[in-house]
Amino acid sequence: MNPYPEPEAFGDLYESLSEILITADQIQARVAEMGAAISRDYEGCHPILVGILKGVFPFMADLIRTITIPLDVDFMAISSYSPSAREHGVVRMQKDLEEPINGRHVLFIEDVVDTGLTLNYVLRHLQNRGPATLKVCTMFDKSSRRLIRIPVHYKGFDLPDRFVVGYGLDYREMYRNLPFVGLLKAEVFQPGKKA
């Protein structure tokens, strides 16, 4: 059971999808399993969960409410200088963490790990600050698209090499509010075309 409206209630957003890949029930059940594992593994460690805005916020919000040990939460915001800079994994920090992380047990929370380029850059940045440990927890993993090796310690679901929306993942800033994950119809998803 989940507290969210049925898919059909999302009207035009739902009508734009060709398929639901992962239901809200599946997501909530998996999040609870991940939260239980994190609660066990970090017992007595008082971890700090770090996420990048905006895509991760629904997952972060659900996940922390399934973790039963004391923890802190912090967020960063980043933006790409340009598409080519992004290809090299170079990003600009728009909002840094508010808390120091040296000596802390840092658990990095991601919505989706795709090529891994952005995450690799951010992880190096965090590692330089001397955390006691630094691990990665992602809701979705597109491992077939990886261009750089990223250690993923907690993973919700594997995704195919397709563009998906929902549960924080957007297409032109929309669809983040869907409590499930789906594929967009071909006529809706036009990556080349300007919004």
Stretch binding Mg ion (CB under 5 A), from 7-15, 106-114, 153-161, 179-187:
106-114
Stretch binding ligand IMP (CB under 6 A), from 58-66, 100-108, 161-169, 184-192:
161-169
| Amino acid at site 185 | K
CB of 91 to ligand IMP, least distance (A): 9
CB of 88 to ligand IMP, least distance (A): 11
Strand order in the sheet with 48-53: 91-95, 72-80, 48-53, 105-113, 133-141, 154-158
169 binds ligand IMP (CB under 6 A): yes
> What is the footprint of ligand IMP within residues 87-146 (CB under 6 A)?
111-119
Please check whether residue 17 is in contact with residue 187, taking contact to mean a CB–CB distance below 8 angstroms: no
Has 114 been annotated as catalytic?
yes
Among 55, 116, 166, 182, indicate the residue that binds Mg ion (CB under 5 A): 55
CA distances from 192 to 14, 90, 104, 114, 142 (A): 22, 23, 42, 19, 21
- Residue 27's φ and ψ, nearest 5 degrees, are -65, -50
3-state secondary structure of 117: helix
Give the residue from 42, 96, 97, 95 showing the smallest Cα distance to 67: 42
Stretch binding ligand IMP (CB under 6 A), from 38-46, 130-138, 160-168, 185-193:
160-168
Query: Which residues of this protein are in contact with Mg ion, per CB under 5 A?
Result: 55, 111
Query: Which residues of this protein are in contact with ligand IMP, per CB under 6 A?
Result: 55, 111-119, 163-165, 169
